[in-house]
Amino acid sequence: MRTHATISGSELVLSVIAIRLAVLVLVGWGLTLLPQHAHEPACVPWSAVRGEAQPAVTAIGAGVADAVFDDMRLHD
Contact 57, 65 (CB under 8 A): yes
**Cα→Cα distances 65→18, 56, 60, 71, Å:** 58, 11, 7, 10
Question: Could you report the per-residue pLDDT of 34-49, keeping only the tens digit for each?
Answer: 877 655 556 656 565 5
**Structural domain spans, the chain:** 8-34
Q: pTM for this structure?
A: 0.40
Q: Angle between the 46-60 and 62-75 helix axes, to the nearest 10 degrees?
A: 100
**pLDDT band at 22, cuts 50/70/90?**
very high
Question: Could you report the per-residue pLDDT of 53-75, keeping only the tens digit for each?
Answer: 555 445 566 777 788 878 888 87
Average pLDDT over residues 14-32: 94
Report how far residue 8's alpha carbon sits from residue 21's, in angstroms, rounded to the nearest whole number. 20
